[in-house]
Structure 1
Amino acid sequence: MSYGKHHRRSGSVLSRTTHYTESPKLLGSGETLCVPLDLISGGHNLELSDYLGILRRSWVLVVATTLAGLLLGGAASAFVKPTYTSTTQLFVSIQSSGSVQELQQGNTFSQSRVQSYVKTVRTPIVLQPAINALGLGLSADELASKVTATTDANTVLINISVDDPSPVQAAAIAQAVAGSLINAIDSLEKPKNGGSSPVNLSVVTPAQAPVAPSAPNTKMNLLIGLLAGLVMGVAAALLRSTLDNRVRGESDLRKVTLAPLLGGIAFDGSAVSKPLLTQAGPQSPRAESFRQLRTNLQFANVSGNAKTVLITSSLPGEGKSTTATNLAIALAQSGQSVCLVDADLRRPMVNEYLGLDRNVGLTSALVGTADLDDVLQPWGEDRLAVLTSGPVPPNPSELLGSYQMRQMIEDLERSFDIVIIDAPPLLPVTDAAVLSQHVGGVVLVVGAEKLKIQDLQKSLAALDLVEASLLGLVLNRLPSKGTDAYTYTYYSRSDIQQPEKKRFGSRRSNPGFEEPSSTTSLMYGVDSRKREARPFPSSAVAESDHR
């Protein structure tokens, strides 16, 4: 089949609006794959949508810090002793005969003198008489800290304000200071010849006891606390996003690899007790996810060369075993003959999920204590055969990398349309890297919000080191809500025109192979009768969604 034909089909399945280019290195087997241009050329500069995503992801933190700032602002207002401010206003005038010229000159003189009078207000010559008159137990400097004198530009008005915990005391002090200033200026401006002072200061606004405190300003404190908390919350969210290097979605994958994303599987709480695809509704998001994974995997392997697909992960707990098991079930439901091999010889779980025995299995066939035909177990209503792990050996890596393992894979490929192998995680042990050299392709399962980006980089490097053919990645345990939520479009069966079933890696497209009979002993083992799907055993419930 020509590349152009592959290109059109991939475009119809993966995207109808994305432009594609050829990237022959992603599969690792010489097969050309269509990769979106924006994934190759795109940088990772944060855009507005990225910042909004960070804030949505950390909205609890932002709201908490904002409320904390608001509470601190309210506490500051509640615990600060209130202060009252009383103000009096004085008018400065010059004695004159009343002519226009004298009035103009007097006004100019008054404005030039007002600034000096303002500075005089807080001096001992003014404050000490006020202290004596009211009997205040304060020094002139202490009283000066409570008194403020100002003037408006181009006016002859002097404003004297006094702050005090008592509103009555504030008004009394303001009035006393105003009277003392009048006397002081009269004394200072009096001519030496003994005449009267040409400057007159008169009170135009007497001081009154204020009703409400001037401080603290509760509204302002609340506003400042709110803004400060919001800023701190946003900063904390950005810092948290910078320090949190876990893989959360496709954008995080694109920071380290351009390998195709074959599918996303949303976290389903019910999968803990019901991990199998057959236990979910046919139109459930979980079932739709695995059908989409099945379809995308077929297009990632358009040549059909990868008849054996290795399913692995970077670390334990990312869901590789449930992914491998359900992918095998989904492929079998499409009409293909599938063999599921549990090659995790350290923590085998496939037999627990499917309710099968593992007293004999893969290791039994590898060491020669049992024939391969005898250890294959049929499962379910479709053409699915399962090869459980068998007894756990002391040397898993040696067995998986042996010549016998390679021959067994070749035997299985001759008898099944597709072979799915569940392998151990890449980073703790070398089993998966060793086994990847015997298979046609590798699918790497990535646990969302669990795997760190540097661990993903190490896994990709390990596969690259052994020149494994990476077919793509599967994002597992995606949140069902939030910025990284997995969504899909729901279609009922009546809305979809069912396509003709296409075999994954089918040998019918290759005249050199014969289609095996459905009664072949290698496919169904000694007992060729269909095995009913067993209920999920309670012993595996705790680990069902963590393998």
Structure 2
Amino acid sequence: NTILDLQAAIGASEKGKDSGIINLSLQSEKPHYAEKVLDKVAGIYVRRNVERNSAEAQKSLEFLEVQLPEIKKQLEFAEQRFNDYQIQRQSINITLETQGVLEQVVKLETKLQELELKRLELGRKFKKDHPTYQGIIEQIAAVNEQKKALVGEVGNLPETQQELLRLRRDVEVSNQIYTLLLSKTQELDIVRAGTVGNVRIIDYAEVNTSKPVKPKKALIVVMTTMLGGMLAVAIVLVQKAMHKGVEDPNEIEAIGLPVYASVPYSDYQDKLTGFSKALKNKVSKPKSILALDNPADLSIEALRSLRTSLHFAMMEAKNNLIAISGPSPGVGKSFVSVNLAAVLAQSGKKVLIIDADMRKGYLQTQFGLKWDDGLSDYLSGQLNLEQVIKPTAVDGLSVITRGQIPPNPSELLMHSNFSKLVAEVSAAYDIVIVDTPPILAVTDPAIVSAHTGTTLLVTRFGQNHIKEIELTRNRFEQNGTDVKGVVFNGVIKKASNAYGYYGYYNYEYKSNEKS
């Protein structure tokens, strides 16, 4: 396990292409341990490299060390036989003729033994059909032929000289071979001892404890930030998927709130540079009113239905003021307020619309007016009623814009000037619509609704959850105001459903007049 762990932990890489320089690395919590391991590995690698380079000499040396004792025994045996024969024959000497033959025989025998040793050594390296090995076999055969030629010469010698030649030959050949092997052994010992590897240690392992490789704090911070962002997005998406808004008005009526109108989503309104885009871009430019540009739009038809429902809902109201609010921003309450006011004015009513959202109100953009000289200026006592009421392009419709953004909108609405305003406009107009901010965001709608006879909520298709609508109603009831009903805005006709699924049918009905 330790070896496998080290193999996995130690890294080896070449510094530069074909540089021959290998860089070793080891990551460990113990600096001295890492240094010791790397130095040891490098040392073992250098030693193994030397051993590989001297392997051939080592193998030859091992072979010779086995052969030397055998040759020595043969030499001692040959000398003993030669001495015994001389004693037996009473010190017979070799003649000059025999000496000449002996020298030739010894020479051939020595050469033959050398070739045999070489053949054995090559037999451990090559196969028998290798050209080098076959070359040695041919040389041995040639020496044997020369040896046979000398046999005839030896046969011509006297019998005593022949035996003496044979014994003397054995001694000389064995001595020559033994001397050769000793010389070869010493030569190989020198070669092995002098072998130098081709690997060097350039630098020994060192650890820079001032700059640890782990943990990489910058990378951790970046990764944590990215993962945190991704997790936050995932949480938001999950919450959005779980917080699915109401898509069926029957759910709203099930909690005791009547739905007065279901206003379809208008593609035509989306094409106009209307209030929603002005709110996003924060640019106050003249905008259009859908009830004037496209009076036959299904959304406007739904608001005409709302106009009829309001006629009966306001019969028992304490005054002719209608407060329009919503649970959250972006539900389309200002769109409903402006176009409902236009529809009421087109029916012959004298209508006033008041922008009571003194924080972020943008009703003036719908009428191409400026926000100044508005509600906040009247409530603060800077202007009178005649100075803040502004006419519009719609006959019978006037507007009071938000005015300057005050630091205390709620306190201004609680001032007696607002009660005075309610009394004056209620007597001067048939219907007064007050557009208020979201009730779940600020308390202004609750203050305004305490002075109005009718309070309506605007909720948006697929945006407001049923619990959110219930909380909105409870917020009004806690302040002593009853919500008369709900305007279900932005209803989208899905492929799998029709408007009838939502309890309301909407049909387009207009003339086919040709120009």
Is the helix fraction higher in 1 or 2?
A: 2
TM-score by length of 2: 0.47
Higher-strand-fraction structure: 1
Q: Which structure exhibits the higher relative contact order, with contacts defined as CA atoms closer than 8 Å and separated by 6 or more residues?
A: 1
TM-score by length of 1: 0.44
